[in-house]
Amino acid sequence: MKQRLSEARELASAAIFAALPGAGRIADAMRYACTGGKGLRALLVVESARLHGVEAKAGPVAGAIEALHAYSLIHDDLPCMDDDDLRRGQPTVHRKWDEATAVLAGDALQSMAFQLITSADLPAEARIALVQSLSEAAGVAGMVGGQAADIAAESAEKPLTLPEIEALQAGKTGALITWSALAGPRMADTDSDGLRHYGEAVGRAFQIFDDILDVEGSADAVGKAVGKDAARGKATFVSLLGLEAARKRAGDLVGEAIAAMEPYGQDAETLRELARFVIARRS
């Protein structure tokens, strides 16, 4: 799995770096923000593309989702958001450079995501479908909306309920993971209920395990600050369910994701392994 993740990450990075200008402060910050990471979303794109016979054309689309993810992390780390100093074991972009550079690098990575999709060797209809669905998943109906709800929850008079947390995380984290799982069918101008269910289940399991890592993990292993949710009195899957029940819920969701891959047989074994990895990782 580590090898497959590394290969997908390198494929995405190659597409991003090829689209960057050679030098300059913003380009350097963009390159820095896209270095490292798990490559989970890129691998979802590559594997879903492989299941639909279009893996050879997946590079720019994998680069697009990793560029957009990197932008979200840059902005999420800013003092006006989560105010983090560490990301992927390195200083956050606004700490290494400054806040203005971080904002602009994030803005540029967001627009690059759509540039990469439109440059992909795909029919116009597929590129339009990818752009339209990514803009929705990344916007106020998806990731940005989830981030806004997360910020609002920190100052709310009452902690969020479990259904409210699930809805929040379905936007903040789940929308882009589900989009990645559905990229292959969209590239092939088709649809897949199985991959949609898979993406939704993996996205929910990923976030639950993130909450577990925030309690059990160390900053050295996770690559970012831990324990912040509890310090802020923030409601999470762990605070509402407890550690063991949260772990069981994540495991059940992985089981759902694996079951959703049954129609694809052995061809989906990497996606099954990826679902298991989500709740076995240490970062």
pLDDT of the residue at 230: 66
In contact, 275 and 208? CB cutoff 8 Å: no
Q: Residue 200: its pLDDT value, please?
A: 98
Task: Assess if residue 283 is contained within a domain.
Answer: no
- Give pLDDT, residue 23: 86
Residue 217 is predicted with a pLDDT of: 73
**How would you classify residue 172: left for phi > 0, otherwise alpha for psi between -120 and 50, otherwise beta?**
alpha
Give me the amino acid identity at 2.
Answer: K
Decide if 87 is inside a domain: yes
Report pLDDT digits (tens) over 108-157: 999 999 999 999 999 999 999 999 999 999 999 999 999 999 999 888 88
CATH number, domain with residue 108:
1.10.600.10
Q: What is the SS3 assignment for 33?
A: helix
Strands 90-91 and 86-87, how do they pair?
A: antiparallel
CA angle 77, 78, 81 (to 5 degrees): 85
Domain presence at residue 249: yes
Per-residue pLDDT reduced to its tens digit, 208-236: 999 999 888 777 766 666 767 666 667 88
Evaluate whether residue 46 is within a structural domain: yes
pLDDT of residue 266: 97
Strand, helix or coil for residue 86: strand
Does residue 264 sit within a domain? yes
Q: What is the pLDDT of residue 22?
A: 81
In whole angstroms, give the CA distance from residue 166 to residue 73.
Answer: 20
pLDDT mean by block of 10 residues, the chain; 283 residues: 96 97 93 96 98 98 98 97 93 98 98 98 98 98 95 87 94 97 97 96 96 83 68 81 95 98 97 97 82
Residue 90, H or E segment = strand 90-91
Cα 82–chain centre separation: 17
- For residues 223 and 256, what is the distance between their CA atoms, to the nearest angstrom? 29
Q: How many CB atoms lie within 10 A of CB 140?
A: 12
CB 246 within 8 A of CB 187: no
Q: What is the distance between the alpha carbons of residues 45 and 63, in angstroms, rounded to a whole number?
A: 9
Alpha-carbon distance 49 to 11, whole Å?
A: 13
Are the beta carbons of 15 and 245 closer than 8 angstroms?
A: no
Q: Is residue 44 part of a domain?
A: yes
What is the share, in percent, of the chain residues with pLDDT greater than 90?
A: 86
Domain encompassing residue 205: 2-278
The count of structural domains within the chain is 1
* 210 closest CA partner among 172, 179, 175: 172
Q: What is the pTM of this model?
A: 0.94
